Amino acid sequence: MEIWKSYDITHREHVICNPMSEEKLARLVALLRLPTDARVVDIACGKGEFLIRLAEVYGVRGTGVDLSPFHIADAQRSVEARAPSAGITLIRMDGAEFKPDEPHSLDMASCIGASWVFGGHANTLEALDCMVRPGGWVIVGEPYWAQEPSEDYLKAVGCAREDFGSHVSNAEAGERRGMELVHTLVSNKDDWDRYEGLQWYAADEYARTHPDDPDLAEVAERVSRERAAYLRWGRDALGWAIYMFRSRSAT
């Protein structure tokens, strides 16, 4: 089954496609204090919720980039319903290929929960930092190991120990780049339970309403495997945070 179909099925109930609550998203938006008509980009924008809220609060001119045709379509519908006059452009493309019209020209660049686009957390910070002006925002969301993961957990989810660092190392990666860490928003277990649990719920709802879909068995197997791994190990082993950095220079 195509990965984007699978992801669409399991994230149909999500407003935000990562382990962050709507309350924390609202806090992030408020803390940014962007100027009117700020220029921003959100790489792997998902359903566009972050961009739309920035448009509602600040009137930003924004670009959302995502590879999923389902999420780009969802985002377009939300923009048309909630911010039809906003200067939001949605592009289906590999986020690693996105370049602003000029380097060091944006007020904010974000990639929340998709550092795989750039080949890891450090590379993501590097890429986003090159997009924003001095003093601009670099916003990233990244998992971290809350405790040492077991080999059984890593095998169950197809993950390697080195795929993620610690909360401290995630922060230090930006500081090594010369950025200033201004704030973090850390997800708690309730945030994680919402994110994971809504996937189980969405998969069950889809199975009930699409009983003839030939991909159902594959979806059910993946959700069952990931649910077991989350409950047995992941809920304690894996953390998540949004890191708010300010770029210091255009070097």
pLDDT in 10s for each residue of the chain, 251 residues: 889 999 999 999 999 999 999 999 999 999 999 998 899 999 999 999 999 999 999 999 999 999 999 999 999 999 999 999 889 999 999 999 999 999 999 999 999 999 999 999 999 999 999 999 999 999 999 999 999 999 999 999 999 999 999 999 999 999 999 999 999 999 999 999 999 999 999 999 999 999 999 999 999 999 999 999 999 999 999 999 999 999 986 55
Residue 88 within any structural domain of the chain: yes
Report the CATH number at residue 47: 3.40.50.150
| Other CB atoms within 10 A of residue 241 CB | 20
Residue type, 41: V
How far is Cα 110 from Cα 17, in angstroms, rounded to an integer?
14
Domain residues for the domain of 171 are 21-189
Residue 206 within any structural domain of the chain: no
Residue 30 within any structural domain of the chain: yes
CB of 63 closer than 8 Å to CB of 75: no
Residue 156 within any structural domain of the chain: yes
- What tokens were used for 92? 């289906």
Cβ burial of 214 (10 Å; 0-12, 13-18, 19+) is exposed
How far is Cα 61 from Cα 39, in angstroms, rounded to an integer?
5
Name the one residue in this structure whose structure tokens are 């990244």.
142
CB of 126 closer than 8 Å to CB of 43: no
How far is Cα 216 from Cα 201, in angstroms, rounded to an integer?
14
Residue 35 within any structural domain of the chain: yes
Residue 221 within any structural domain of the chain: no
Residue 196 within any structural domain of the chain: no
pTM equals 0.95
Q: Return the SS3 of 88.
A: strand
pLDDT at 250: 54
Number of structural domains found in the chain = 1
Residue 224 within any structural domain of the chain: no
pLDDT at 184: 98
- What tokens were used for 47? 């359903």
How far is Cα 240 from Cα 229, in angstroms, rounded to an integer?
17
How far is Cα 18 from Cα 137, in angstroms, rounded to an integer?
20
What is the biggest distance separating any 2 CA atoms in the chain, rounded to whole angstroms? 55
Nearest CA to 61 out of 106, 14, 119 is that of 106
Half-sphere exposure of 249 (CA within 13 A, CB side): 5
Nearest CA to 171 out of 160, 159, 180 is that of 180
pLDDT at 1: 84
User: Strand pairing partners for 141?
Assistant: 112, 242
What does the CA dihedral 85, 86, 87, 88 come to, rounded to 10 degrees? -120
